[in-house]
Structure 1
C-alpha cells in the first residue's frame, strides 16, 4: 500500500475571492464524498500538504480539525489523519451529479428513448449509429472465471498447459531482456515471432509466405474489424456463413456492411447461392477448416469457386482458421490460403485457443498490397502487441515446445471427443444427437425439430451445464435447433457427469407450439 506522502492529490484551482481555508476544506470534502479519497485512506501530513500548495501549516490543521469535527476524518497522535470509515450524509451539491441512467435503470447508451429536453437536462450522452453497433457484443464482457465445467466452449485445457515451462522461458527472457524490448516495437509485430509463424504455417497449413506477410495482433476479431474498416464502405455487401460466427457478423455490421447470410450444408458455405444472390459483395468471411458452428470443412470445389469469385470481383476473403490444429482423423487439411495465388485471402490464426485464452495473441497472413495499409491501421488503433509476450511466444515456438504441445493436445482432445460421443449416445440418445467429431474444441449437438434451443441452454445452466444455443449463430434464416458443447477443457469423467446432468435438463422437454 502506498504511503500518504506518495499520493499525488489533485485539487481544483482556488476561485478568486475564496479564502484558502474554505478552498482547501471544500476540495478535501469533495474528494472524500466522490470517493477519490476512499474510506480508510490516509491523508498526506499537514506539513506535506502545506508545502505542496503553498499554505501555512495552521491553515491545514484548521481544515483537518473541521473535517474531523464533522465526521469526515479520524486521527491519532503520531499516526496521521484518515478518511472516516463511515461518512456523514452526502449533500446534494456534491453527490447529485448528472447520470446516464433512466429512471427504469436502463442506460441511455443502451438505446433508452428520451425526449430532447429531458436529455439535455440530464446531460445524457447519445451514441452514434456506429457506436450503437459497436456496443453490441457476442462476448461475455465479464470473462469466464473459475475452473472450466461441462460443456464450456472455445477453451483449451488450461491444466494441461506447461505453465512451469512457460514461466521459465519468461523469466529467462526477462533476465536477458535487451533495451530494444523495452521501447516501442514494430506495429507489424516482433520479427523473430513473425518468422516463426511463417515457418509454422508453411509446414502445417501449406501456406507459402515470409515474415513480411505476417502481422501479429491481439485477436482474430481485431483482424476482422480492421479488414472490414479498410475494405468496406457503408452499404457494401459482405458474405458470411449462416449460421456463422456472431463476432464476425457484428464487426462487419459495425463497419457499415450489408451482411449477407449464406446457407451452409455438408460442404460448407454455398458459394453458388452467394454468387446468385449477392455477386456484388466485396468481402467474404469463412471458417473453411471447420465451419462455425456446424463443423464441416469447406469442400475443395467451393474453395476454388470462392477464390475465382474474389479474383473476378477484386474482393477479399477472410479465412478464420481458428482451431484447425486439432484434427483427429485423416491428414491435416491445407488452408484455403494455400490455393490463393492472386492475393485475395487474409488468413487468420490464433494462439489463444491453442495455448491459453489470456495470451491474447493472434496473427494474419496478408496479401502484399494490403500489408502497408493494414499495418498503418493497426498502428493507429492499437500500436502493437506487447513485446514481452511476443518474445516469450517466439522462444516457445523456436525451441520446439509449441509443436510438442500441439501433438500432445491433439491426442488428448481426440480422446475427449470420443468420450463425448460415447456419453451422448449412452445418456442422450433420442433427445440430443452428437455427430461424429473429427476436429476442434467443441461440437454441435442437435435437438429434435421444434425445440427452443435458447430455452434448453437456460435449462442446462440451471443444472450446472454450460452450452451455447445454435440459434445464437443464426443470421438470415433459422439455425437447426441444437447446442454447442465444448469438450476440450474437461476430462472424461467431467464429460460423462455433464452428459448425465444434461439428460436431466432434457427431461420433460416440450416442442414449441
Structure 2
C-alpha cells in the first residue's frame, strides 16, 4: 500500500475505540517500525492530514510532537521526516532458542506446587489453620502503623527476631540473641544467603544424598562443586578420608529429621561433624525443618545448641508450621560470622513484609503459635498412624516404610522393578503429588527407589482409595 493511501485510511469512531490521538500515534509508529514508512519519508503537514482524516489539527500536531520526542521522526524546517531506525533488522525465519547460564540450565522442574493435590510431601493441613487468630494478629500489626509501610531493618523486624530467639531457646535448645537472627523469604532464601556469604565459585560443598532438592538448587546457582554424601539409618556419613580428600566449604545437614528418610543424627556424630568442620575451616548448615512435629519420644534438640561456639548456621521456616504462602524463614548466624556479615547483608536485603513480620511476632508472643503447633502435632500424629494402616491394607506391592517419627511424610521404599519416577508421573493424572525417592539423589542407587508420601494436607478417609490407586499404578509400571 502506498504510504499516502495508508495514511488516508479513516480512524475508528466506534464507541469502544481508543482515542483518535492514540490511534494515529499507534498507526504511525507501527508503520515506521514495520518499514511501511521508510527512513527519510516526509509525513503530510499537520493541517493536510487533519483535513484528510477529519480530525483536529491539534491532534495531529500532538502526535507528531510525541513521535519526535520518542525519536521516530525529525521535525525539520521543510517538514516532518521519518528518522532512521538503526535497530530495526529482519527477523529470521526461526529464532534460535535462548541459551541459559550453565548454572541454571541443569535445573529440573519440580511438580507444580500451586495445584491442589493429595499426598503432597511437606504441605501442612491448611484447612485447620486458625485464620481468625491470624487475622487478629494482622489487625494488631496494621493498627495505625504507617511507619511499617517503609523500608525496615535489612535483617528483619526486631520484634520478630526477639520472639524467635525466645521461642528457639525453649523449644529447640538454640542459643542465640535476637541480633544473630536474619529474617528471610522462606528457608530457600536463607540457604541462598549461606551460599552467597560463605562460598566462591568452584568451592566444594557437601549435601546429604538422598536429600533436600532446594539446597542443591542454591548451590548449583552458586557454581559450586557439589559432593553427594550418603546417608544411612542415622543420617549423614563422613569419614576422616572424606575430610582430607574433599574438604568442603559448606556442609548441609538435617540432623533432627533427615529429609526425606527421617533419620536422627546422634550426638556423637554431631560432635564429630562440628569438630571436623572447625578443624577444616568449614561451615555447617543445620536445616531444622519439621522439628516441631515430633511424634515419638521427646523433641530432638538442635545441633546448634551443643556446647561450644560451633560453626553452625541454623535455618528455620514458618512455611510448614504456619502456611507456605507466608514466605517467612530465618537464619541464625554464629557470633563470629555476624561481626563480618552485617555490611553484606545490609546491601543484599531490604527488610520487606514488615506487617506480616510484626503479626508473626504477636502470634508467637500471644501464645497462639504454641497452641497451633500443639493441635497440629496431635493431628499429624493421628494422620501418620492412619497412613501406616492404609499402607498395610491397601498398598499391596512389596515395600518397606521409613520415617514417620517426625514431620508430615512417610518414605516407602520399593524394589527396582517398580520405577518410582514412572509411578509418580502417572499419579499426577489422578490428583496425587507423591514424590519419587530417586529424585532426591544426585547419584541414585538401586535402594533409592520409592515414594515420598505426604499426609499433612490429605484427609485420612481418602488414604485407602488413594493408596489402592497408587498400588495399581505401581503394578502397571512394573509390567511396562
TM-score normalized with structure 1 length: 0.74
Counterpart in the other structure of 2:254: 287
Counterpart in the other structure of 2:450: 482
Contact 1:453 / 1:470 at 8 angstroms: preserved in 2?
yes
CA distance in structure 2 between the partners assigned to 1:508 and 1:344 by the alignment? 49
Moved more, 472-481 or 329-338: 472-481
CA distance in structure 2 between the partners assigned to 1:201 and 1:22 by the alignment? 63
Q: Secondary structure at the match of 2:128?
A: coil
Matched, 1:315 2:285: no
Contact 2:111 / 2:433 at 8 angstroms: preserved in 1?
no
Matched, 1:212 2:211: no
- Cα distance, 1:221 vs. partner? 1.4
Counterpart in the other structure of 1:392: 359
Matched, 1:170 2:134: no
Matched, 1:108 2:78: no
Unmatched segments (≥5 aa) in structure 1: 1-8, 10-20, 35-55, 65-92, 110-126
- Cα distance, 1:252 vs. partner? 1.2
Counterpart in the other structure of 2:478: 510
Counterpart in the other structure of 1:122: none
- Cα distance, 1:57 vs. partner? 4.9
Q: Secondary structure at the match of 1:507?
A: helix
| 1:159 maps to which of 109, 113, 127 | 127
CA distance in structure 2 between the partners assigned to 1:372 and 1:30 by the alignment? 56
Q: Secondary structure at the match of 2:273?
A: helix
Counterpart in the other structure of 1:114: none
Q: Secondary structure at the match of 1:271?
A: coil
- Cα distance, 1:451 vs. partner? 2.8
| CA deviation string 1:2-47 (max 9, x = no partner) | xxxxxxx9xxxxxxxxxxx99982446658999xxxxxxxxxxxxx
Counterpart in the other structure of 1:195: 162
C-alpha distance 436-270 of structure 1, shift in aligned 2 (>3 A): closer
- Cα distance, 1:509 vs. partner? 3.8
Contact 1:456 / 1:506 at 8 angstroms: preserved in 2?
yes
C-alpha distance 500-377 of structure 1, shift in aligned 2 (>3 A): farther
User: Whose RCO is larger (CA < 8 A, sep 6+)?
Assistant: 2
C-alpha distance 242-142 of structure 1, shift in aligned 2 (>3 A): closer
Contact 1:169 / 1:395 at 8 angstroms: preserved in 2?
yes
Contact 2:418 / 2:474 at 8 angstroms: preserved in 1?
no
| 2:386 maps to which of 411, 419, 428 | 419
Counterpart in the other structure of 1:144: 114
- Cα distance, 1:418 vs. partner? 0.6
C-alpha distance 383-493 of structure 1, shift in aligned 2 (>3 A): same
Unmatched segments (≥5 aa) in structure 2: 1-17, 34-54, 64-84
Cα RMSD (Å): 3.1
Counterpart in the other structure of 1:469: 436
Segments ≥4 residues shifted beyond 6 Å: 21-24, 31-34, 61-64, 96-99
Counterpart in the other structure of 2:375: 408
- Cα distance, 1:441 vs. partner? 1.3
Contact 1:421 / 1:436 at 8 angstroms: preserved in 2?
no
C-alpha distance 31-490 of structure 1, shift in aligned 2 (>3 A): farther
Contact 1:397 / 1:403 at 8 angstroms: preserved in 2?
yes
Aligned residues: 417
Contact 2:413 / 2:448 at 8 angstroms: preserved in 1?
yes
Matched, 1:492 2:460: yes
CA distance in structure 2 between the partners assigned to 1:365 and 1:308 by the alignment? 19
Counterpart in the other structure of 1:25: 24
TM-score normalized with structure 2 length: 0.79
Counterpart in the other structure of 2:232: 265
